[in-house]
Structure 1
Amino acid sequence: MSLRVGIIGLGVGERHIAGYQTHPDCRVEALCDFSPQRLAAVGARHPGMRLTLDADDIVNDPAIDIVSIASWDDAHARQATQAVRQGKHVFVEKPLCLTVRELAAIRGAVAESPAVHLASNFVLRSCPRFQELKKRVSAGALGNIYYMEADYNYGRIHKITGGWRAGLDFYSVFLGGAVHMVDLLLWMTGKRVAEVSAMGNRIATAGTPFQHNDLAVALLRFDDDSVAKVAANFACVSPHFHRLALYGTTGTYENFPEEGRLTTSREPGAGWEPLRQAYPGAGKSAQVAWFVEQILHKNHAVLQRHQDSVFEATAVCLAVEQAMGLRDRITVHYD
């Protein structure tokens, strides 16, 4: 079995190339970007690939098996839906989409194409430290987790005040950033969100071209009544960091840049067990390589679970956006 790939969007999309090239049975055939300058520059760094300014050239090409989507956020849904309907596997950067209607359209297209698989670049699943933590959680080291805190501290204010995000009619820091933390919690615990409430502000970027919330904070109630606070803090004065704290009935975990720390005692001075696995420890192409591996080995059940988790995390984030607009608790709708 051989897989041929087309990549749309050559910002972070250029970093997808390495993930596909890890497999001798997978070849990147075509690259697309609407910027002629960027397209030419990336093409020069990766000779032998067909170059196009039109995403439809890739989506509609019968010779392409996988479409990798790393375009601007507002193009993801249309390109993903069209690619699935053309019978292609889809690997899409987050967010998968920006509206409930778009999510329904993608789900509908996937349901009509059972041989097609869809994945999103949830890179924190490739982090060695979080993989170790997931093993501990699954083994019951923390007991029943009843409260979680997960903050996506972006620390790159220039990317929203001066980059392409500032020019979109709508940009969501929650869908574009905190979705990583939502997915991490769902993947780590296996829990399902029942309802959300949320609020946000744009105090830190007032007076800049960015016209959307740069901070979004949500409370998630899970179906077992456990609770999580999840934040997207794009303008924070700090390095990029994934803050995570899990509170269970028999243990607590906290993530720090230098190490994770786990304790199973309430006694003063009991100390913490360090988890020193690499963090983040994986690049943007790690999940790309994983996706290709699953397709080549026909691990359909694994791919289906991942696909379902993409839809679930997206649905939660869309409910958060709705709750911020209404300033009310919102029931999460998955179908």
Structure 2
Amino acid sequence: MNRLSIGVIGLGVGEQHVRTYLNNPNCVVAAICDFSDEKLRSAKEQFPGIKLVKSAQDIISDPEIDVVSIASYDDDHFSQVVSALDSGKHVFVEKPICQTYEEMKQIKRTWDSKNKIPLFLACNLILREAPLYRWLREQIKQDALGKIYAIDGEYLYGRHQKITEGWRNAVDNYSVIEGGGIHMIDLMLWLTGQRPVTVISAGNRICSEGTKFRYNDFVTSIMQFESGMIGRITANFGCVHRHQHVLRIYGTKATFLYDDAGPRLYTSRNPNDPGQKIDLPPLPETKGDLIPDFISAILTEKDITDETEMIFDGICISAACDLAVKTQKREMITYL
């Protein structure tokens, strides 16, 4: 079987993309792009023999490249995804896939127009690959938690300087929901198989007041589902805390909690019951762990349409969350 030719855009998280592709016998990394001379010099030392370019379009328009792996800044994702799909490339992109509902509509139109090829499109919503959440998903499928009536997901960023001093303060319309809360939104969709109908949100920027960061650093959203389930997703970028995801799932048979005390499952209301500790990692080994399955899907022509549609749903939800902050009203969530 011929190996897939890969082009990687961006050398932040993208460096982990490169290493994952290099370790895959079905891939060859043909080119790497970054606008930073320093990062390109480092890449030349780490990845000798790979073509280095400063323009993303050099990778996107290269007829020899099969897969474009995008790890650029958030506000570049939309144009690069659409351009890569238009050029007939499979696309693996860091989250968020885009910044607005209208951009998501355009990406879906472009992707739909290429479905006869077909082109594969995936987003690096990496928590799906964590052993803890893969176990939890199976527990939910097996009805171990009973009917789920509430799910709380908190994205504690704990990296204040990255929003006040890094590239995020220069990006127009930066959203902490799309930049981090999207991981918890995706977990909510992926674990429960349900989509919310409405959302109400609130936010503030107290932690970044007086800095260059122009947007809310804290946003919390409450969502209602047709089943009656309630979802609450919080993106907390200014918190005095280490980087961590907090998840609570409440079912009629059991409660799952993951916080500073570690993951555990409670199956009793007995106050003396310490709960069952779950000894599984809450994070994948690397940020490239979803890539092997993506490459396998391309080579075997496996249908991953449902997974791609869930990516679209996540942006529709996050866009509605941000809209609800502005309007201070309950908003209907419009799906594509």
* TM-score, normalised relative to structure 1: 0.97
Number of aligned residue pairs: give it: 333
Q: Name the counterpart of 2:107.
A: 106
Structure 2 CA distance, aligned partners of 1:281 and 1:34?
Answer: 29
Letter in 1 for 2:205: R
Measure, in 1, the Cα distance between the counterparts of 2:193 and 2:111: 23
Which of 286, 289, 292 is residue 289 of structure 1 equivalent to? 292
Work out whether 1:194 is the aligned partner of 2:202.
no
> Identity percentage over the alignment?
38
Moved over 3 A (4+): none
| 1:14 counterpart letter in structure 2 | E
CA offset digits 1:36-87 (Å, max 9, x no partner): 2212212321111111111111111111111011111111001001111111
Amino acid corresponding to residue 332 of structure 2 in structure 1: T
The residue correspondences of 1:26-175 to structure 2 (distance < 5 A) are 26-114=27-115, 115-175=118-178
Cα distance in 2 between the residues matched to 1:194 and 1:16:
35
**How far off is 1:268 after superposition?**
2.1
Q: Match of 1:239?
A: 242
Distance 1:186 1:46 in 2: 37
1:212 maps to 2:215: yes
Q: CA RMSD in A?
A: 1.1
Task: Please give the secondary structure, in 2, of the residue aligned with 1:286.
Answer: coil
- Structure 1 Cα separation of the partners of residues 251 and 23 of structure 2: 39
Query: Is residue 156–residue 236 contact of structure 2 (8 Å, CA) maintained in 1?
Result: yes
Secondary structure at 1:78 match in 2: helix
**In 2, Cα distance between the equivalents of 1:293 and 1:275?**
30
Q: TM-score normalised to the size of structure 2?
A: 0.97
Aligned AA for 1:151? E
Letter in 2 for 1:5: I
Give, in angstroms, the shift of residue 297 of structure 1: 2.4
Distance (Å, rounded) in 2 between the aligned partners of 1:288 and 1:256 = 28
Partner of 1:310: 311
Runs of 5+ consecutive residues of structure 2 not aligned to the other structure: none
Q: Which moved more, 1:168-177 or 1:272-281?
A: 272-281
Partners of 1:166 and 1:238 lie apart in 2 by 20
Q: Is this contact kept in 1: 2:11–2:71, CA < 8 A? A: yes
5+ residue gaps, structure 1: none
Q: Deviations over 1:77-111 (max 9, x none)?
A: 01001111111110110111111111110000000
- 2:100–2:315 CA contact under 8 A, matched in 1: no
Q: Among residues 302, 308, 314, which one is paired with 1:299 in the alignment?
A: 302
CA shift at 1:258, angstroms? 5.6
